[in-house]
Structure 1
Amino acid sequence: MAAVSSTSTIQLQDLERPPTPKDGSLLNTEGHRLGSEDDATGGLPAPTTTATVVQRWNHPSSNLFRVLSCFWSMLVSGANDAAYGALIPYLETYYNLTYIVVSLVFLSPFVGYVLSALLNNHIHLRWGQRGIAVLASACHMVAYVIVSQHPPYPALVVVFILAGFGNGLSDAGWNAYIGNMDHANEVLGFLHACYGAGGVISPLIATTMISKGNLGWWTFYYVMLGLAVIELTWCTTAFWTQTGAVYRETVRHSNSDSGTGLRTALFKRPYARVSWLSAFFLLAYVGTEVSLGGWIVQFMIQVRKADAFDSGMTSVGFWLGLTLGRIVLGFVTPRLGVKLAVAIYIPITMALELVFWLVPQFYVSAVAVALQGFFLGPFFPAVVVAATRLLPRHLHVSTIGFAAAFGGSGAAILPFAVGALAQAKGVQVLQPVILAFLGVMLGLWLCLPRIGDKRENDFESETHRHLSIFGWKKAFRFGIHQQANLERLQELGFLVALPVGFNLRIHTPPGYIRHRLIVIFATARRAAEQQIKNERRSQIPVIMVQLTEVEDEHFQSGQAGPIEDDAEFTDTDSEISADSDYDPRDESFAERIYALKDIVPPTTRGWISNKIDFGVSAVQNTWYYSSRTVWVVCATALMIGVPLATCWAEDQQLEGMEREFRMREAGGDALLAAGESQEGSTADQIGLALDRAEAKPAL
Structure 2
Amino acid sequence: MSRLRVIVALALTYALLGVMMNSVGVVILQSIRHFDATKPMGSTLEACKDLTVVAVSFLVATRVPLFGFRRALIAVLALMALACFAVSFAGGFFAMQALFVVIGLSFAIAKVATYATIGLLARDPNDHASITGIIEGVFMAGILAGVWLFGWFIALDDSGNGWLRVYWALGAAFAAMALLWTVTPIDERGAAAPEGSENAHWGEMARLAILPASLAVLAGLFFYVLIEQSVGTWLPTFNNEVLHLPAAMSVQLASIFVGASALGRLASGVVLRRVAWLPALLGCLVCVAALVLLSLPLAKGVQPNAAVDWFHAPIAAYLFPLLGVFLAPIYPTLCSVALSALPRHRHAAMMGLIVIFSALGGTIGSFITGMLFQHLPGTLAFYFTLVPMALIALILPIIRRRQGSGAAA
Q: TM-score, normalising length from structure 2?
A: 0.86
Matched, 1:141 2:81: yes
Pick from 439, 443, 453: which aligns with 2:394? 443
**Number of the residue aligned with 1:345:** 284
User: 99, 110, 118: which is aligned to 1:159?
Assistant: 99
1:277–1:261 distance in 2 versus 1, CA, 3 Å: farther
- 1:327 is matched with 266
Whole-Å Cα distance in 2 between the matches of residues 258 and 227 of structure 1?
35
Q: Secondary structure at the match of 1:386?
A: helix
State yes or no: 1:199 paired with 2:139.
Answer: no
Give the Å deviation of 1:260. Answer: 4.9
Q: Which residue of 2 aligns with 1:431?
A: 382
Select the residue among 369, 386, 396 that pairs with 2:347: 396
Q: How far did residue 206 of structure 1 move?
A: 0.9
Shift in CA distance, 141/242, structure 1 to aligned 2, threshold 3 Å: farther
Task: Name the aligned partner's letter for residue 376 of structure 2.
Answer: K
Counterparts of 1:451 and 1:345, CA distance in 2: 21
Deviations 1:359-405 (A, max 9, x none): 23754323333321111221221012111222232221111222122
Q: Which residue of 2 aligns with 1:674?
A: none
Cα distance, 1:191 vs. partner? 0.3
| Counterpart-to-counterpart distance in 2, 1:146 and 1:446 | 47
Letter in 1 for 2:67: W
How far off its partner does 1:144 sit? 1.4
User: Unaligned 5+ residue runs, structure 2?
Assistant: 303-312
Match of 1:188 in 2: 132
- How far residue 262 of structure 1 moved from its aligned partner, in angstroms, is 4.2
Pairing 1:498-517 to 2, within 5 Å after superposition = none
CA drift at 1:65: 1.4
Instruction: Find 2:222's aligned residue among 283, 305, 325.
Output: 283
* Letter aligned with residue 358 of structure 1: P
1:347 CA displacement: 1.5
Classify 1:357/1:259 alpha carbon distance in 2 versus 1 (closer, same or farther; 3 Å): farther
CA RMSD of aligned residues (A): 2.7
Is 1:101 aligned with 2:52? Answer: no
Give 1:303-322 correspondences, 5 Å limit: 303-322=242-261
* Contact 2:208-2:214 at 8 Å conserved across structures: no
Deviation at 1:159, TM superposition (A): 2.9
Structure with bigger helix share is: 2
Deviations 1:238-272 (A, max 9, x none): 24x556xx3554x43xx899995443343468x62
Q: Is the 8 A contact 1:390 1:451 kept in 2?
A: no
Q: Partner amino acid for 1:79?
A: V
Query: Is 1:209 matched up with 2:149?
Result: no
Name the aligned partner's letter for residue 169 of structure 2: V
Aligned CA distance change for structure 1 residues 230 and 286 (closer, same or farther; 3 Å):
farther
Task: Please list every run of 5 or more consecutive structure 1 residues that lacks an aligned counterpart in the other structure.
Answer: 1-60, 459-699
Give the alignment partner of residue 233 of structure 2, picking from 278, 281, 294. 294
Change in CA separation of 1:88 and 1:156 when aligned onto 2, cut-off 3 Å: closer
Contact 2:5–2:184 under 8 Å retained in 1? yes
Choose from 97, 107, 118 the match for 2:58. 118
Counterpart for residue 634 of structure 1: none
Supply the distance in 2 between the matched residues of 1:337 and 1:259 (Cα, whole angstroms). Answer: 38
Q: 1:236 and 1:369, CA in 2 relative to 1: closer, same or farther beyond 3 A?
A: farther
Deviation at residue 296 of structure 1 after TM alignment: 1.0
Kept in 2, the 8 Å contact 1:185–1:382? The answer is yes
Q: 1:302 to 1:248 in 2, by over 3 A?
A: closer
Question: Which of 166, 169, 177 is equivalent to 2:109?
Answer: 169
Q: 1:327 Cα deviation (Å)?
A: 0.8
Q: 2:206 pairs with 248, 266, 282, which one?
A: 266
Q: How many residues align?
A: 388
Higher relative contact order (CA 8 A, sep 6+): 2
Letter in 2 for 1:206: F
Q: Percent identity?
A: 19
User: Of the candidates 215, 218, 237, which is equivalent to residue 183 of structure 2?
Assistant: 237
Displacement of 1:73: 0.9
In 2: Cα distance, 1:354 partner to 1:282 partner:
23
Amino acid at match of 1:289: E
Offset of residue 326 of structure 1: 0.8
- Is the 1:176–1:396 Cα contact (8 Å) retained in structure 2? yes
**Retained in 1: the 8 A contact 2:264–2:326?**
yes
Equivalent residue for 2:28? 88
Q: Which residue of 1 aligns with 2:315?
A: 364
